[in-house]
Amino acid sequence: MTIRENVLRVKEIISAAAIRSKRKPEDIILLAASKTQPVEKIIQAYQAGVRYFGENRVQEGIKKIEQLKDYTDIHWHLIGGLQTNKAKYAVRHFELIHSLDREALADEIDKRAKKIGKVQDVLIEVNVGEEESKYGVKPSDLERLFEYSLSKENINILGLMCIPPYFEDKEKSRPYFAMLRDLRDKIEEKFAVKLPHLSMGMSHDFDVAIEEGATIVRVGTAIFGERK
């Protein structure tokens, strides 16, 4: 399968899942998770119509952003965990950071964004499975981090992100996606805000995530093939 064929198939699955959940296919953003992929493959995905790309590591991402700077309509997102000392570079180069998960990072993003006159769009990453190995704020600490980040002038919170535990059976991811949606709904009510985005769902379960309200799906393997 070529990257073009993969993109077309992923888009068909997105459309079908959107229609099943009574939403518009065009309201769901396909973000290609391009970590470890060379720019040649990113260009192939671009040529198949993908405009959103997510990188995990700041340095690797910046290198590609610079190599692809002529592709001015690409939206670059940071989807991997972010070290505080790299926030400065993340703010400078990425449109949306999916991985705000602690107060110290909110402080740093706010400070660095202020310095360059930017309001940084972010998602708060929630560790829905409460796994030691994963980034993300614990569900029970989410409201506090939300309130803290909301008070930052140079941070704009657009929603929540999660990476649930991995299950062969994608149906087992469903309760975690539903949990993220419920957490979002509670925050919207309690703080009288709108959080339009839920970033959830990867290659093996993005259709389930869409059924549970995902607005951004992060798809790597199903577009680019297995990573080396």
Ligand X SMILES: *Cc1c(COP(=O)(O)O)cnc(C)c1O
Give the chain's largest Cα–Cα span.
48
Between 49 and 186, name the residue whose CB sits nearer to ligand X. Answer: 49
**Contact status: 50 vs ligand X (CB under 6 A):** no
Helix (H) or strand (E) holding 168: none
For the chain, the distance separating the N- and C-terminal CA atoms, rounded to the nearest angstrom, is: 17
**Contact status: 160 vs ligand X (CB under 6 A):** no
Which of the ranges 17-25, 141-149, 181-189, 212-220 carries the binding residues for ligand X, by CB under 6 A? 212-220
Tell me the three-class secondary structure of 134-166, residue by residue. CCCECHHHHHHHHHHHHCCCCEEEEEEEECCCC
Which of the ranges 12-20, 136-144, 177-185, 218-226 carries the binding residues for ligand X, by CB under 6 A? 218-226
Residue with the closest Cβ to ligand X? 220
Contact status, residue 214 vs residue 27, Cβ threshold 8 Å? no
Which of the ranges 15-23, 85-93, 190-198, 216-224 carries the binding residues for ligand X, by CB under 6 A? 216-224
> Which phi and psi angles does 146 have, rounded to 5°?
-60, -50
> What is the closest distance, in whole angstroms, from the C-beta atom of residue 60 to ligand X in the complex?
12
> What is the closest distance, in whole angstroms, from the C-beta atom of residue 62 to ligand X in the complex?
17
**Contact status: 203 vs ligand X (CB under 6 A):** yes
Quick one: which of 7, 202, 210, 214 contacts ligand X (CB under 6 A)?
A: 202
DSSP for 203-224 reads TTTHHHHHHTT-SEEEESHHHH
What are the start-end ranges of the H helices in 27-124?
39-47, 58-67, 87-93, 103-115
**Contact status: 42 vs ligand X (CB under 6 A):** no
**Contact status: 33 vs ligand X (CB under 6 A):** yes
By CB under 6 A, name the binding residues for ligand X: 33, 35, 56, 79-80, 163, 202-203, 218-222
